[in-house]
Amino acid sequence: MKKSTSKTMSPMGRRQFLKSSGGVALFIGASGLLPNLLSCTDTKGVQRELTKHDVTAWVRITEDGQITIYNPAAEMGQGSMTSLPVVFAEEMDADWSKVHVEFSPQEADMYGSPGWQPGTKLMFTVGSRTTNSYYSVMRKAGAQARYVLLHSAAAHWQVPVTELTTGPSAVIHEKSGQQIGYGALVPYLTMPETLPGFSETGLKDPKDFRLIGSPIPRTEIPEKVDGRALFAIDLRLPDMVYGVLERGPLHGASPTLTNEEDILAMEGVLKIVPFDYAIGVVANTLEAALSAKKALAIQWSDAQAKGFNSQEIYPVYAQMASAPQKGKTVNELGDMDRAWRTAAKTYEADFKNDYVYHAQMEPLNAVVQVAQDGQTAEVWVGSQQGPDTKLGIPGLLGIPHEAVKVHLQYLGGGFGRRSMNDFVLECGSLAQAMAPKPVKLVWTRQDDVTYGTFRPLTLQRLKASTDAQGNLTGFSHCVVGDGGNLVASGARNDHYAIPNQWVEWREASHGIRLKHWRSVGHGPNKFAIEALLDEVALDQGVDPIALRRKLMVNAPRALATLEKVAEISDWNAPLTEGRAKGVAFVEHGSLGTGVCEISVDRTSGTIKVHRFWIALDAGVVIQPDNVTAQMEGGVIMGISSVLKEQITVVDGQVQQRNYDDYQLLRMQEVPDSIETVILPSAEHPEGVGETATPMVAGAIANAFLRLTGKRLRHLPFTPERVLAALNS
């Protein structure tokens, strides 16, 4: 492996390197010292650290050859604790067996990936952006670490650096036959005068990858099978107390507590902390806090949601979709109105979806400790982080960013819910009231459901037009619902060659808390798009795969996933009696086409998914088995939400409470198999966490249409709705 040292490197001086790290520079001692945070304004201190230690901030090497790599992303089961360090280790040429992974400090200046705006940095594990946004960051940082090692060895041996190469965790000088391990090099490490900022071409040739793309077990799995893995809810600190909140029956309702004295007299209760929308109780044990929560007598104000009935809103949404004035344009291509007027045939259908809940297995919680003087704080939390890596605590307490230390823990599921830090702020307020005692805030499951933040309820009005030959000439998609991008994402059709397209959002608002839910608007929107395509296919007498093949004429990567899934699912083979297959395509960064095989119990109305196949193009794949796991999990979560999950609201109040009335898919309901084929690609990696889930609704509805000739257009496909469709 050869690296260019001239054209591809833009020299970056020490000063510049520091500047790019913003207000705080972090240096990591090469000899096992703890991370050392220094203010950049302390120039003398910075100089001292620079001469004393050896960078980079992403890695720590000790003389025994052990290498610690820092993962900047949340680990919620998607595998960042392995994938990002693997990318770093690849470019550093580290011996993976010597690598240990820890979370990095939560400092975006140092550890962020490119943010939404050019020149900004972000630590935010959302939108399946982790591997996509950190791939180049980790490669360059790994290459810089290797550069430091190479130059230190060159200085140590007094040979030109161009004569050196690296093997797993060793610098090699072939000419003299010398070799030195990275650990042995530690005493000789020096910081080069300049650190190059590597461009793509200065990095490893992908054909030389040893780690990327190979089957590497996930680093954190052993501690997840013996109870050692720490989630924030597992934290126990000396002198820690427990907090709970009672929140209103209507989202945003304000409380008036009428039995404060009784509560304060309860055994173990330490303090009552009022919030605008809740009453907080702190007690010396969790059970005491929960007993007090139950005993609270609270009068609740009204709130916007009062009077709202979720299952009665669809006719209103349908009227809104029919109103002459258009909503906010999301996408416009060609002239849809003209395509509609001049069509040989037109199609129109409304699709609906009810609210769904995240149901991450670890209920929301956090531990916060505020110092006695209120000037510093520590946070232990499972968070998908955020634009403010200190999760709002500095603002809450009125203290500087650097006065808050966040200890990121494993997340017992995220799915978008932990990208909102309402629970961290709640815990911060309790901890402020209890300073300097650390407070553990726990949401009960009932809190988590009833005060949840849901994927919005929506109606999609879709229209399609065809010419006399049956070609799709126009496609229009009107989304009605609350939440902007939460309802509009995934409504575009960039991979289908339909010359006239129109996407718009018409806004509703009900005062129900909403949030990104795995794949966001893609779930309902891809369902509507893919289902309407199959309705067109059925009417035109065209095979659903053939219809999509024609539409993907300008999208070869998408088409390859379609062809591959048709092959592995044996699409054209005769079917078992009583079964049918359905197909759906999804783009969510990565491109994937899914096929399912289903049967229907016509007495109970239960749909059973027997098998699922996915062909995926995700660009370069770091960990193939982990991508497969994401497809499996995505399909299971998809089936769960499509067949079972439903939040309903009556007079503004969420009707579900726990897993008994918010049912998730269980072991006995899983398909026999989920098969994934990952297509080889040298393109930049794309996210895979949200590509499978939105395939499921369309694939099932399309299989159902082929099996029964009936249409399912309202998520979830509960037995009642399936029976209604069968009897229609």
Partner 1 sequence: MATYSLNINGTSHEVDVAPGTSLLWVLREHLGLTGTKYGCGIAQCGTCTIHVDGNPVRACVVPVDTMAKGQQIKTIEGLSEKGDHPVQQAWITAQAPQCGYCQSGQIMQAVALLETNPNPSREEIKSYMNGVLCRCGTYLRILKAIEMAKEQTTKNS
Q: How far apart, in whole angstroms, are the C-alpha atoms of residue 170 and residue 191?
A: 18
Binders of partner 1 in range 664-693 (CB under 8 A) = 664-668, 670-671, 673-674
DSSP state of 484: T
CB of 85 to partner 1, least distance (A): 16
Say whether residue 568 binds partner 1 (CB under 8 A): no
Which of 180/678 has CB closer to partner 1?
678
Quick note: the x/- pattern for partner 1 over 371-410, rule CB under 8 A, is: ---------------------------------------x
Q: How far apart, in whole angstroms, are the C-alpha atoms of residue 152 and residue 640?
A: 55
Tell me the CB-side half-sphere exposure of residue 601, using CA atoms within 13 A: 11
Q: How far apart, in whole angstroms, are the C-alpha atoms of residue 674 and residue 223?
A: 26
CB of 455 to partner 1, least distance (A): 14
Which of 171/621 has CB closer to partner 1?
621
Question: Which DSSP string do the residues of 210-267 spell out, in sequence order?
Answer: SSTTS----TTHHHHSSS-PPBGGG---TT-EEEEEEE-SSTTPPEEES-HHHHHTST
Quick note: the x/- pattern for partner 1 over 635-654, rule CB under 8 A, is: xxx--x--------------
Say whether residue 602 binds partner 1 (CB under 8 A): no
Q: How far apart, in whole angstroms, are the C-alpha atoms of residue 523 and residue 235?
A: 35
Q: How far apart, in whole angstroms, are the C-alpha atoms of residue 328 and residue 478?
A: 10
Q: Which stretch binds partner 1 (CB under 8 A): 14-22, 70-78, 470-478, 502-510?
A: 70-78
Quick note: the x/- pattern for partner 1 over 269-288, rule CB under 8 A, is: ----------------xxxx
Say whether residue 208 binds partner 1 (CB under 8 A): no
Say whether residue 230 binds partner 1 (CB under 8 A): yes
CA 308 to chain centre: 30
CB of 656 to partner 1, least distance (A): 12
Contact 32, 73 (CB under 8 A): no
Which of 130/501 has CB closer to partner 1?
130
CB of 628 to partner 1, least distance (A): 9
Instruction: Name which position in 205, 261, 660, 720 contacts partner 1 (CB under 8 A).
Output: 660
- Computed over its alpha carbons, how large is the radius of gyration of the chain? 28
CB of 271 to partner 1, least distance (A): 18
Instruction: Name which position in 364, 442, 532, 679 contacts partner 1 (CB under 8 A).
Output: 442
Q: Which stretch binds partner 1 (CB under 8 A): 22-30, 107-115, 230-238, 501-509?
A: 230-238
Distances 143 to 31, 201, 350 between C-alpha atoms, Å: 20, 12, 52
Quick note: the x/- pattern for partner 1 over 23-42, rule CB under 8 A, is: --------------------
Say whether residue 699 binds partner 1 (CB under 8 A): no
Q: Which stretch binds partner 1 (CB under 8 A): 73-81, 155-163, 428-436, 504-512?
A: 73-81
Size of site (CB under 8 A) for partner 1: 66
Say whether residue 625 binds partner 1 (CB under 8 A): yes
CB of 660 to partner 1, least distance (A): 5
Which of 228/326 has CB closer to partner 1?
228
Q: Which stretch binds partner 1 (CB under 8 A): 98-106, 326-334, 357-365, 706-714?
A: 357-365
Which of 235/371 has CB closer to partner 1?
235
Which of 88/410 has CB closer to partner 1?
410
Task: Read off the tokens for 674.
Answer: 């989920």
The runs of H, that is alpha helices, within 466-555 are 485-488, 522-540, 544-551
How many other C-beta atoms are found inside a 10 Å radius of the C-beta of residue 318?
A: 14
Phi, psi (deg, nearest 5) at residue 41? -75, -20
Where are the extended beta strands (E) located within 498-564?
A: 500-507
Say whether residue 523 binds partner 1 (CB under 8 A): no
Q: Which stretch binds partner 1 (CB under 8 A): 187-195, 199-207, 444-452, 555-563?
A: 444-452
Say whether residue 324 binds partner 1 (CB under 8 A): no
3-state secondary structure of 628: helix
Say whether residue 629 binds partner 1 (CB under 8 A): yes
Which of 493/630 has CB closer to partner 1?
630
Q: Which stretch binds partner 1 (CB under 8 A): 269-277, 334-342, 355-363, 714-722?
A: 355-363
DSSP strand pairing (590-601 vs 404-408): unpaired
Task: Read off the tokens for 699.
Answer: 């694939």
CB of 345 to partner 1, least distance (A): 40
Q: Which stretch binds partner 1 (CB under 8 A): 234-242, 243-251, 484-492, 715-723?
A: 234-242
Comparing CA positions, the residue from 698, 311, 317 lying closest to residue 533 is: 698
Tell me the CB-side half-sphere exposure of residue 337, using CA atoms within 13 A: 2
CB of 71 to partner 1, least distance (A): 15
What residues contact 418, with CB distance under 8 A and at least 6 apart? 74, 76, 360, 364, 382, 383, 384, 411
Quick note: the x/- pattern for partner 1 over 480-519, rule CB under 8 A, is: ----------------------------------------
Contact 488, 330 (CB under 8 A): yes
Instruction: Name which position in 226, 261, 276, 577 contacts partner 1 (CB under 8 A).
Output: 226
Comparing CA positions, the residue from 29, 58, 193, 214 lying closest to residue 139 is: 58
Quick note: the x/- pattern for partner 1 over 168-207, rule CB under 8 A, is: ----------------------------------------
**Residue type at 276?**
D
Instruction: Name which position in 181, 280, 363, 685 contacts partner 1 (CB under 8 A).
Output: 363
Instruction: Name which position in 54, 90, 91, 234 contacts partner 1 (CB under 8 A).
Output: 234
Which of 316/361 has CB closer to partner 1?
361
Say whether residue 100 binds partner 1 (CB under 8 A): no
Q: How far apart, in whole angstroms, are the C-alpha atoms of residue 718 and residue 643?
A: 6
What residues contact 569, with CB distance under 8 A and at least 6 apart? 581, 595, 597, 611, 613
Say whether residue 236 binds partner 1 (CB under 8 A): yes
Instruction: Name which position in 11, 23, 187, 222 contacts partner 1 (CB under 8 A).
Output: 222
Q: Is residue 666 classed exposed, middle or buried when 0-12, 13-18 and 19+ CB atoms within 10 A define those classes?
A: exposed
Say whether residue 633 binds partner 1 (CB under 8 A): yes
Phi, psi (deg, nearest 5) at residue 161? -60, -25
Q: Which stretch binds partner 1 (CB under 8 A): 272-280, 385-393, 659-667, 677-685?
A: 659-667
Comparing CA positions, the residue from 532, 665, 675, 682 lying closest to residue 615 is: 675
Comparing CA positions, the residue from 226, 661, 630 lying closest to residue 415 is: 630
Where are the extended beta strands (E) located within 57-136?
A: 59-61, 67-71, 99-103, 113-114, 121-124
Q: How far apart, in whole angstroms, are the C-alpha atoms of residue 126 and residue 120?
A: 16
Q: How far apart, in whole angstroms, are the C-alpha atoms of residue 457 and residue 479?
A: 10
Residue with tokens 């259908």: 349
Q: How many residues does the chain have?
A: 728
Q: How far apart, in whole angstroms, are the C-alpha atoms of residue 482 and residue 143?
A: 45
Say whether residue 360 binds partner 1 (CB under 8 A): yes
Residue with tokens 């289903």: 598
Quick note: the x/- pattern for partner 1 over 407-426, rule CB under 8 A, is: ---xxxxxx-----------
Site of interaction with partner 1 (CB under 8 A): 76-79, 217-218, 220-231, 233-234, 236, 242, 267-268, 285-288, 291, 359-363, 410-415, 442, 444-446, 625-626, 629, 632-637, 640, 658-660, 664-668, 670-671, 673-674
